[in-house]
A and B are shown apart, each in its own frame.
Chain A
């Protein structure tokens, strides 16, 4: 069956992840849905523990055995989660690939970088050593590393170069979807800007759809076209990046924006007070209510449903089409 032109490349439908933690269930991800076409770039932002990494690990089928995943991940219309690990395996790295958090520190120190990038090519694409080496040279060139460096060891690379090499490895088998989990978090600001540029270029040049996870909204805004904001396991707002940044409709999005220091602007940075809720007890009402400056009575009783408005969605009782509640 041929997929029609408008059919999405990847569709995540009502994804949920519960962890069995012995004394009960931890609801890490609840009802997350999004759609990606080729070349689409989606950012997922939120604080530590909001479930953003769990979403992408679930999409890769890489969660530990105590995780219970519900919902669907449709790749070209086929649910790759349905058949367990054996149905996931042909897609992992080849169709959906990932740059892990701290990937630059994940290289094996006693093997050359080129050898490690070649490994998925030889295993998944069954390439000969010569073909794999050729492909490694292409990949390194694409991420801006001289191909002669393939024979070097990880400690001979700077942090930024190792992160580029990790990206080359993730792209080795020509994936259609690339998941990048905090790819720039531990990097210096200049190197970070270079990696963000590289992610944009790679997605444009190769037509790869990108999911970019970060707690850093400005970094996400530099790369993606849409942004989903997660809080306590749920997407509370998703919108085109310009709209989300200029007219946030969820108070949590507004609070994240207010926490960004900006050079030149007066020091009006505000932290978000309080802590995110515990996820091992069911959330009553809106999970953000205890920290929300616009909280109303209903927020503590009923969990807000998703409100769709054109190309945006928000889950807040107090949101108006115009923007934030007063």
Chain B
């Protein structure tokens, strides 16, 4: 088996709390944003990282693209640990790993034309001037904005939300990355255009691109992901082949997420399978399972230790001490 394209190994990110500035010493309170996340991504694979706001999934994305320092652990891309590289050595990897942001309304500079938005990355990465126009056009047409002439000289406000997100994706793929990290790429878009943007991302894999999709939408994730990893409170609580996670979710939190997807059948009332409760305080994580406070099946022992990921066979694992209901 060849080495994976991306391997996160025990990745941990702590944010210092306010007051803990440059003079802070060990022992100051920190927010545990990401705690021991391990995940692999093969070339040409699509993996979805699913969870609620604040679960740490965007922090994982930001750490992979180098916008956030890892407190400990490794981000191994094509065999190189990116967390140990300095800015200069990191530069080729910044090109190989591209990020698509959640909000296409904020991510595009309103005073730049589509041409200059897509060209900007090429300029920064010193692609020869003579090649750039052709690459910009090819990228726009690759994301379905064709003919490219119809959008090249337009400004973001002249485009619909779906078109803007396509421009953002075009700017990313213009640099021929090997990995695309897409942070909630469709959550700001109308339901009616979400599917087409997801189809586009699926289609990009034919170019050999691997994609990590960060999303809170399990139903959308399963449409294109090969594997799904569910995060809760900074940790991966379940991970496995997408269809298997959907069909036989092993962690109560995954089941809660599935139960909360509104049914289009008005006769079926959606009642989320959680007990009302709040997330624990991220500065003072509980000693046991973080989901226990909202878990409908929690037992006393759930509060004792953080449950490790357990192998359930065929690459499916979950971090719950309770037996999987059939």
The answer to whether A and B interact is yes
Q: How far is the CA of A262 from the CA of B195 in the complex (A)?
A: 12
B192 touches A193 (CB 8 A): no
Report the separation of the CA atoms of residues A263 and B50 in the bound assembly, to the nearest whole angstrom: 14
Contacts A219-B262, A259-B194, A267-B223 given; indicate if A193 touches B246 (C-beta within 8 A). Answer: no
Tally inter-chain residue pairs, CB-CB below 8 A: 115
- Mark each residue of chain B from 285 to 310: 1 if its CB lies under 8 Å from any CB of chain A, else 0: 00000000000000000000000000
At the interface, yes or no: A317 with Cβ under 8 Å from chain B?
Answer: no
- Closest residue of A by beta carbon distance from B246: A263
Size bin of chain A's contact surface? 35 or more
Residues of chain A contacted by B247 (CB below 8 angstroms): 264
Q: Mark B253-281, 1 if CB is under 8 A from A, else 0.
A: 00011111111111101111010101100
B160 at interface (Cβ–Cβ under 8 A)?
yes
Q: For residues 233 through 264 of chain B, which have their beta carbon under 8 Å from a beta carbon of chain A?
A: 246-247, 256-264
Chain B proximity mask over A114-149: 1 for CB below 8 Å, otherwise 0: 000000000000000000000000000000100000
Q: C-beta contact mask, A196-209 vs B, less than 8 Å → 1, else 0?
A: 11000000000000
Docked Cα-Cα span, A97 to B196, in Å, equals 36
Partner of B192, one of A192, A222, A241, A256: A256
Stretch at the interface among B14-22, B61-69, B171-179, B214-222: B214-222
A271 and chain B: residue at smallest CB distance: B196
Provided the pairs A188-B53, A189-B257, A190-B274 are in contact, do residues A222 and B193 lie with their beta carbons within 8 angstroms? no
Q: Would A245 and B266 be within 8 Å (CB), given that A190-B260, A216-B191, A271-B194 are in contact?
A: yes
CA distance A259 to B218 in the complex (A): 15
User: Does B311 touch A at the CB level, under 8 Å?
Assistant: no
- The distance from the CB of A260 to the nearest CB of chain B, in whole angstroms, is 6
Chain A 240-263: CB-based contact to B (< 8 A → 1; otherwise 0): 011001000000000111011111
| Interface bin, chain B | 35 or more
**Quick check: is A77 within 8 A (CB to CB) of the other chain?**
no
Whether a CB of chain B sits under 8 angstroms from the CB of A272 is yes
B240 to chain A, nearest CB (A): 15
Cα distance, A188 to B51, chains bound together (Å): 9
Contacts of A218 in B (CB 8 A): 261-264
Is A298 among interface residues, defined by CB-CB distance under 8 A?
Answer: no
Q: Quick one: which of A166-212 are within 8 Å of B by CB?
A: 188-194, 196-197
Once bound together, how far apart are the Cα atoms of A115 and B259, in whole Å? 36
Q: Among A159, A189, A242, point to the contact of B261 (Cβ < 8 A).
A: A189
Report if B133 contacts A (CB, 8 A): no
A152 within 8 A of B: no
A259 touches B262 (CB 8 A): no
Closest to B262 in A: A218
CB neighbours (8 Å) of A271 from chain B are 192-196, 199
B262 touching A193 by the CB < 8 A rule? Answer: yes
Nearest chain-B residue to A144 (Cβ)?
B276
A residues in contact with B203, CB < 8 Å: none
Q: Measured between alpha carbons, how far is A196 from B266 in the docked complex, in Å? A: 12
Docked pose: A194 CA to B276 CA in angstroms: 9
B161 proximal to A (CB < 8 A): yes
Instruction: Say whether B131 faces chain A, with CB atoms less than 8 Å apart.
Output: no
With A158-B278, A222-B262 known to touch, is A261 a contact of B192 (CB < 8 Å)? no
- Bound complex: CA A194 to CA B257 (Å): 12
A193 and B265 contact, CB distance less than 8 A: no
A:262-282 near B, CB below 8 Å = 262-264, 267, 269-273, 275
For A241, list chain B residues within 8 Å (CB): 266
A242 to B267: give the CA distance in the assembly, Å.
8
Residue of A nearest to B274 (CB): A190
Q: Which residues of A contact B259 (CB under 8 A)?
A: 193
Nearest-neighbor residue (CB-CB) of A220 within chain B: B262
Within 8 A of B (CB), among A73-115: none
List, in ascending order, chain A residues with CB within 8 A of B246's CB. 263-264
Does A215 lie within 8 Å of B190, measured CB to CB?
yes
Whether A159 lies near B195 (C-beta < 8 A) is no
> CA A272 – CA B262 in complex, angstroms?
21
Find out whether the CB atom of B270 lies under 8 angstroms from the CB atom of A193: yes
- A221 within 8 A of partner (CB): yes
A217, CB-defined interface residue at 8 Å: yes
| A263: chain B residues within 8 A (beta carbon) | 218-219, 222, 246, 258, 261
For residue B52, CB closer than 8 A to chain A, the reply is yes
Looking at B216, B246, B274, which has the most chain A CB atoms within 10 Å of its CB?
Answer: B216
Inter-chain CA distance A214–B160, complex, in Å, is 18
In the assembly, what is the distance between CA of A266 and CA of B251, in Å?
A: 23
Chain A nearest Cβ from B134, distance in angstroms: 27
Whether the Cβ atoms of A261 and B220 lie closer than 8 Å is yes
Residues of chain A within 8 A (CB-CB) of B161 are 48
Per-position 1/0 for A28-72, Cβ under 8 A of B: 000000000000000000011000000000000000000000000
Of A48, A188, A215, A217, the residue contacting B216 (CB under 8 A) is A188
Residues in A whose Cβ lies below 8 Å from that of B264: 217-218, 221, 245, 257, 260, 262
Which B residues are in CB contact (< 8 Å) with A267? 222-224
Q: Give min CB distance, A183 to chain B, whole Å.
A: 13
- Which of B194, B223, B261, B272 lies in contact with A194, CB distance below 8 A? B272
| Complex: chain B residue closest to A49, CB-CB | B160
Partner of A275, one of B160, B266, B272: B160
Q: What separation, in Å, do the CA atoms of A270 and B197 have in the docked complex?
A: 11
List 12 A–B pairs whose Cβ atoms lie within 8 Å, in order of A's numbering.
A48-B161, A189-B257, A190-B272, A192-B262, A215-B192, A216-B262, A218-B261, A218-B262, A242-B266, A259-B191, A262-B264, A269-B198
Given contacts A48-B160, A219-B262, 6 further A-B contacts (CB under 8 A): A47-B193, A190-B260, A221-B265, A259-B191, A272-B193, A273-B196
Listed in ascending order, the chain B residues whose CB lies under 8 Å from chain A are 52-53, 160-161, 163, 190-196, 198-199, 216-220, 222-224, 246-247, 256-267, 269-272, 274, 276, 278-279
Pairs of residues from A and B, 3 with the lowest C-beta to C-beta distance, nearest first? A271-B196, A218-B262, A193-B260
